[in-house]
């Protein structure tokens, strides 16, 4: 029996993406990228240009807390993680990129980060946008830590104002912005113990324009990566809502095999527990999924949420040996061979392309691990992917760069 899947996003979030991903007369290809990717990393020494308060640069260029960072009282009225004492005192520091111009503008932004958070530490990201010369407030994306005993990982509801709103992991602006401000906050309750932030990224999109799947150079056609197949369906407590941690686990399983890193291999329920958002009450927070993956194996991988304009960009990842997880939504009869008859939001893994250019995937909505492999028609999957404005996430080996042409970087 085919089922209906609601897996990653709420209907509200996907509807917002759909509304902001098209405008009258925008079906023609755009010269400028619709989706762009901003990233600052320790490896590139990018944090040197951040304004830092209570933070220092580690020897490798990562952000860390200054031992003399100011003390604060708990920003979380309910305390820390469930079952733990309230967080009363901690040290806090920040690093802010005061202004990053975004040529062509943007109206949505999804942050992600590579952070190592020993027990007793956590991180938080805020974003602001400049709209017609005026800065918005700083929108909060909530605390995150790998250790569940430190803080309760959660997004922040109730932030909507006249300029924008946060839908779990996505800032949706009501008018297009021309610049971005990004701040990362570091916290510790333990003397001498600090989180380390290796990278901060933001996936940006201009929803007033519509990307069109660009012509392919066919380099990746005929290439299929050895991504282990995993189904989300066998788990009674997850089932139809665990597509995101299942896809994350498949990506980690791939890199476990490729890099020979057993510390990257975890079962799906472990991933689900480690990406769970206490406010969203689900496992589909994009930022938490990539943060979890990037913290596995003491930072063996980088992780980022991206938005892409075309399958030709996914092909660059595949050609470089990097599988990609994409967010799709579709109605009955529009995605031939799918496990579910329709979906308001679902995560699958793209692992390759046929010699004809169709898309070879692992779709976790199939009932068992040995059934998840499926090939989708390129044009049909493109239409399904457009509903999330090309949203995806990727993992790649620490210390290496993204493949040329895989994303459209902010200059």
Looking at the fold, whether 389 and 252 belong to one and the same domain comes out as yes
Look up the CATH number of the domain holding residue 252: 3.90.70
- ∠343-349-351 over CA atoms, to 5°? 140
Looking at the fold, whether 66 and 192 belong to one and the same domain comes out as yes
pLDDT digits (tens, 9 = 90+) for 313-344: 999 999 999 999 999 999 999 999 999 889 99
Task: Look at residue 103 and tell me if it is in a domain.
Answer: yes
Look up the CATH number of the domain holding residue 164: 2.60.120
Looking at the fold, whether 286 and 317 belong to one and the same domain comes out as yes
Looking at the fold, whether 96 and 226 belong to one and the same domain comes out as no
pLDDT confidence of residue 4: 55
What does residue 85 show for φ and ψ, rounded to 5 degrees?
-65, 155
Looking at the fold, whether 218 and 363 belong to one and the same domain comes out as yes
pLDDT confidence of residue 411: 83
Task: With beta carbons less than 8 A apart as the criterion, state whether 305 and 203 touch.
Answer: yes
pLDDT confidence of residue 304: 98
The residue count for the chain:
411
Task: With beta carbons less than 8 A apart as the criterion, state whether 187 and 123 touch.
Answer: yes
What residues are paired with 362 via a beta bridge? Answer: 349, 373
DSSP 273-332: HHH-BTTTTBS--HHHHHHHHHHGGGTTEEEEEEE-S-HHHHHHHHHTT--EEEEEEE-T
pLDDT digits (tens, 9 = 90+) for 343-399: 999 999 999 999 999 999 999 999 999 999 999 999 999 999 999 999 999 999 999
**Overall average pLDDT of the 403-410 stretch:** 96
Looking at the fold, whether 271 and 151 belong to one and the same domain comes out as no
pLDDT confidence of residue 27: 42
**Overall average pLDDT of the 212-227 stretch:** 93
Task: With beta carbons less than 8 A apart as the criterion, state whether 170 and 345 touch.
Answer: no
Task: With beta carbons less than 8 A apart as the criterion, state whether 293 and 349 touch.
Answer: no
- Please say if the pLDDT value at position 30 is more than 90: no
pLDDT digits (tens, 9 = 90+) for 78-114: 556 666 666 778 999 999 999 999 999 999 999 999 9
pLDDT confidence of residue 21: 40
- Interatomic CA distance for residues 391 and 405, integer angstroms: 16
Task: Look at residue 74 and tell me if it is in a domain.
Answer: yes
Neighbours of 396 (CB within 10 A): 22
pLDDT confidence of residue 83: 61
Last-in-domain residue among 170, 187, 205 = 205
Beta strands in 33-88 (DSSP E): 35-41, 51-53, 55-57, 63-65, 71-73
Mean of the per-residue pLDDT values of the chain? 91
Task: Look at residue 408 and tell me if it is in a domain.
Answer: no
**Overall average pLDDT of the 19-29 stretch:** 38
- Tell me which DSSP letter residue 237 carries: T
- Tell me which DSSP letter residue 20 carries: T
327 compared with 210, residue with greater pLDDT: 327
pLDDT confidence of residue 8: 46
Q: How many domains does the chain have?
A: 2
Last-in-domain residue among 205, 237, 264 = 205
Last-in-domain residue among 175, 205, 235 = 205
Looking at the fold, whether 135 and 251 belong to one and the same domain comes out as no
pLDDT digits (tens, 9 = 90+) for 178-196: 999 999 999 999 999 999 9
Task: With beta carbons less than 8 A apart as the criterion, state whether 172 and 284 touch.
Answer: no
Task: Look at residue 364 and tell me if it is in a domain.
Answer: yes
Structural domain span for residue 13: 3-17+213-397
- Interatomic CA distance for residues 274 and 153, integer angstroms: 9
């Amino acid at each position: 029996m085919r089922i209906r899947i609601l897996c990653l996003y709420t209907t509200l979030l996907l509807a917002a993406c759909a509304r902001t991903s098209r405008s009258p007369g925008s079906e023609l290809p755009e010269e400028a990228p619709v989706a762009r990717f901003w990233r600052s990393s320790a490896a590139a020494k990018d944090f040197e240009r951040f304004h830092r308060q209570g933070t220092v640069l580690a020897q490798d260029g990562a952000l860390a807390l200054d031992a003399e960072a100011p003390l604060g009282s708990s920003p979380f009225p309910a305390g820390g993680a469930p079952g733990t004492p309230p967080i009363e005192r901690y040290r806090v520091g920040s690093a802010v990129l005061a202004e990053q111009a975004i040529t062509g503008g943007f109206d949505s932004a999804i942050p992600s980060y590579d952070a190592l958070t020993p027990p007793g530490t956590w991180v938080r990201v805020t974003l602001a946008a400049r709209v017609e010369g005026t800065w918005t407030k700083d929108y909060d994306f909530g605390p995150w830590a790998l250790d569940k005993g430190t803080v309760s990982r959660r997004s922040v509801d109730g932030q909507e104002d006249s300029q924008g709103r946060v839908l779990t992991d996505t800032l949706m602006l009501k008018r297009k912005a021309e610049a971005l401000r990004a701040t990362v906050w570091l916290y510790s309750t333990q003397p001498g113990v600090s989180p380390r932030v290796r990278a901060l990224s933001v996936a940006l999109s201009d929803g007033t324009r519509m990307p069109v799947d660009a012509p392919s150079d066919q380099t990746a056609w005929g290439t299929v990566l050895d991504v282990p197949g995993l189904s989300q369906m066998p788990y009674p407590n997850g089932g139809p809502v665990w597509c995101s941690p299942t896809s994350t686990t498949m990506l980690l399983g791939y890199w476990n095999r490729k890099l020979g890193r057993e510390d990257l291999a975890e079962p799906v329920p472990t991933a689900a527990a480690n990406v769970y958002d206490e406010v969203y009450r689900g496992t589909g927070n994009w930022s938490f999924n990539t943060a979890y993956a990037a913290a596995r194996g003491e930072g063996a991988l980088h992780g980022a949420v991206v938005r892409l304009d075309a399958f030709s960009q996914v092909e660059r990842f595949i050609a470089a040996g990097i599988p990609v997880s994409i967010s799709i939504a579709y109605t009955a009869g529009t995605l031939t061979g799918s496990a579910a008859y329709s979906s308001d939001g679902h995560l699958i893994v793209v692992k390759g392309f046929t010699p004809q250019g169709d898309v070879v995937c692992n779709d976790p909505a199939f009932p068992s691990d040995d059934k998840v492999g499926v090939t989708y028609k390129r044009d049909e999957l493109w239409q399904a992917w457009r509903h999330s404005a090309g949203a995806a996430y990727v993992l790649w080996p620490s210390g290496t760069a993204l493949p040329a042409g895989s994303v459209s970087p902010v200059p």
